[in-house]
Structure 1
């Protein structure tokens, strides 16, 4: 028996289970100051502050922050579109998705979605965003050209985090209450597969080079490796206590925020071993990797900070104040 970990408020169920292969795989192709900041290259990092109902926009080059105040109640998830001009923020207690103009840092629209929306992902090129509705067991599909809800797809219990893969053909959604990942074909908005995961699967990210995905299991202190081509769970990697956020870095390393260990585990995707453990702030949650490889950024929920990790040394090189109880994080240029 695994020892009972301290779990985040959204991890509601405990169950025992084994990893098994899924069937009917989807065929996919291989393969702190306040300042006016220039657009688009300067405002790069967006952090959802669930305790202060706002979003921090941080410029990593100038080391300056601005606040977007007019989002909904309890913002938790954040994503940026492919062009870097729109930021999407889920408001968990308001059941809405805020749309932020990255130039003016103002909310330009608010879209009703499902109950207790958590994670959000943007689909490259195509005008779509996907919202995991934690309280209604659905994935809301948003037309980002019209800011309208297109459909809500039933998924597993307590969907937590979506990620888009395979050039936009698939969306993978972790189901916090079902020990699984739902696979959705974005061309038909239908569920095509379910992949087993561990206890309370939360964060997820994909390696586009290998087709492997990495799922943080908050309830059993592990990361499940999934094969997105065969829709199978390949095994698990032990990490820190209560892992939440996951980010794939350009270096080929995977960074996992361990909420109750106050650390980040670094996984080598060639060996699938943890090669470093990095102390960060109190209760890290969200993780994002800079596309140019310069930093890995981690939100620290109980410290109201963001840690900036140098991936060359896997050490924290800066700690930035943000809003209250930061959770989701996204990066743009």
Structure 2
């Protein structure tokens, strides 16, 4: 006899069953009470797999980079680059822009021209220590000694003057100021050159060059040369002065007697530092906005070589070539690339066939070069030293500045790299 109640109960139970039990999503947290042991096993497997995955990820994860560093591992910069300066590092003032080696080779002078206090430091090249210092006000770029090494001249920048100092046995003492023009005018004397009893200075904001008699301290004449002249260099016979016209992509050639412009030679963009070949026949000009050096044949009155100093061929502008130095034998030219943090070493022994041999890693933003009289030591001024610093007490728009305020421009400490022996050998050659 059919039991209608039992049949209806069975139908209801069947209707509640999942028709696709194997399609249900797996869940660690939903399981039948009869399957607790299986759940624990599955949980352990998942934990082991997750742990192994995390350990594998940690082994592949690069080490965290932190500011600072060491001489062996290098120093991390804000842009993610690491500088590993060659040789010994001598700390100096803020933003050193010029170096001058004493004629006897025993002392190196450094002009610091940054946001911090300006000064001229005197370094004993044997002990590699600062032995004396002269505070200056508003100096910029220019630094030179007379042939005897007893007088030091620096571009006075904001003061529209030449700052002069006496130097004896490594001790530097302020001497006097030589006015170049009206203190209220916009001359901004910077790069300069001493030739006998004459000093020639490029007035960067005055677009002019002035000739000064060092005996009387008087300005003999001033002539306009073009847009923002950078520095000057006198010929070996003292009859000609060459001026790099920073904003004009040219070198102005001046006759020293009348200080008139005799010729102009085109260069690449932003010509700045210059050096003459040992025979006085070629003038090498660094072009900051073109990654190049112009080699000018002075007899022909034109650039005959365009030497690229980039790490890679066809690199965009940005190396900022801004300092030059010549080896005593005249065969090697050293060029600082400020934004590449290196010094290019160039073989210039064959005119017209100059060749980059390689690069020397230096500090952060190299700005000036000098080489010892025996050619065995290269000195490199690094504008920002070797490392960066955090400024948790930096300027705030809603607070007045105090002496404790950490303005980033005042946290840089310059340095001088001393490269000798193997450190003087280029470490990297990227392209032939």
TM (norm. structure 2) is 0.61
Inter-partner Cα distance in structure 2 for 1:66 and 1:75: 22
Kindly indicate whether residue 205 of structure 2 is the aligned counterpart of residue 117 of structure 1. Answer: no
Equivalenced residues, count:
278
What is residue 107 of structure 1 aligned with on the other side?
174
Farther-moved stretch of structure 1 (270-279 vs 256-265): 270-279
Q: Report how far residue 178 of structure 1 moved.
A: 0.4
What is residue 321 of structure 1 aligned with on the other side?
none
What is residue 124 of structure 2 aligned with on the other side?
59
Give 4+ residue runs of structure 1 displaced > 6 Å after superposition.
none
What is residue 64 of structure 2 aligned with on the other side?
none
Change (3 A) 1:139 1:289: same
Inter-partner Cα distance in structure 1 for 2:423 and 2:328: 15
Unmatched 5+ stretches in structure 2: 1-89, 92-101, 182-186, 311-318, 386-413, 427-432
What is residue 274 of structure 1 aligned with on the other side?
356
What is residue 156 of structure 2 aligned with on the other side?
91
Asked if the contact 2:360/2:423 (under 8 Å) is kept, the reply is no
Greater helix proportion: 2
- Deviations, residues 69-94 of structure 1 (Å, cap 9, x unaligned): 33221332201111111111112222
Asked if the contact 2:122/2:131 (under 8 Å) is kept, the reply is yes
Change (3 A) 1:70 1:314: closer
Q: Secondary structure at the match of 1:93?
A: helix
Q: 1:135 aligns with which of 187, 205, 208?
A: 205
Q: Secondary structure at the match of 1:105?
A: strand
Q: 1:260 aligns with which of 339, 355, 366?
A: 339
What is residue 21 of structure 1 aligned with on the other side?
none
Change (3 A) 1:205 1:285: same
Farther-moved stretch of structure 1 (172-181 vs 153-162): 153-162
Q: Report how far residue 40 of structure 1 moved.
A: 8.4
Q: 2:139 aligns with which of 74, 82, 102?
A: 74
Asked if the contact 1:293/1:311 (under 8 Å) is kept, the reply is no
Change (3 A) 1:129 1:206: same
Asked if the contact 2:284/2:293 (under 8 Å) is kept, the reply is yes
Q: Report how far residue 186 of structure 1 moved.
A: 1.4
Unmatched 5+ stretches in structure 1: 1-31, 34-38, 317-333
Q: Report how far residue 313 of structure 1 moved.
A: 5.4
Kindly indicate whether residue 310 of structure 2 is the aligned counterpart of residue 310 of structure 1. Answer: no
Q: Which of the pair has the greater relative contact order for Cα pairs under 8 Å at 6+ separation?
A: 1
TM (norm. structure 1) is 0.78
Over aligned residues, Cα RMSD in angstroms? Answer: 2.1
Asked if the contact 2:341/2:364 (under 8 Å) is kept, the reply is yes
Kindly indicate whether residue 326 of structure 2 is the aligned counterpart of residue 244 of structure 1. Answer: no
Inter-partner Cα distance in structure 1 for 2:159 and 2:142: 13
Asked if the contact 1:53/1:75 (under 8 Å) is kept, the reply is no
- Deviations, residues 124-169 of structure 1 (Å, cap 9, x unaligned): xx20111111101111111111222222121121100211113211
Inter-partner Cα distance in structure 2 for 1:61 and 1:147: 34
Farther-moved stretch of structure 1 (108-117 vs 300-309): 108-117
Inter-partner Cα distance in structure 2 for 1:260 and 1:90: 24
